[in-house]
Amino acid sequence: MRIVVDRNKCTGLGICESLAPDHFEVNDEGALVVLRDSVSEDELDAVQQAVEGCPTEALRLEN
- Asked if residue 23 lies in contact with residue 50, where contact means CB atoms within 8 angstroms, the answer is yes
Query: pLDDT tens digits, residue range 6-57?
Result: 999 999 999 999 999 999 999 999 999 999 999 999 999 999 999 999 999 9
pLDDT (0 to 100) of residue 33? 98
- Pairwise CA distance, residues 4 & 16, whole Å: 13
DSSP readout, 1-63?
-EEEE-TTT-----HHHHH-TTTEEE-TTS-EEES--B--GGGHHHHHHHHHH-TT--EEEE-
Structural domains of the chain in order of their starting residue, each with its CATH number: 2-62 (3.30.70.20)
pLDDT the model gives residue 12: 96
Rounded to whole angstroms, the Cα distance separating 4 from 28 reads 21
* pLDDT value at residue 55: 97
pTM (whole model) above 0.95: no
pLDDT at 57: 98
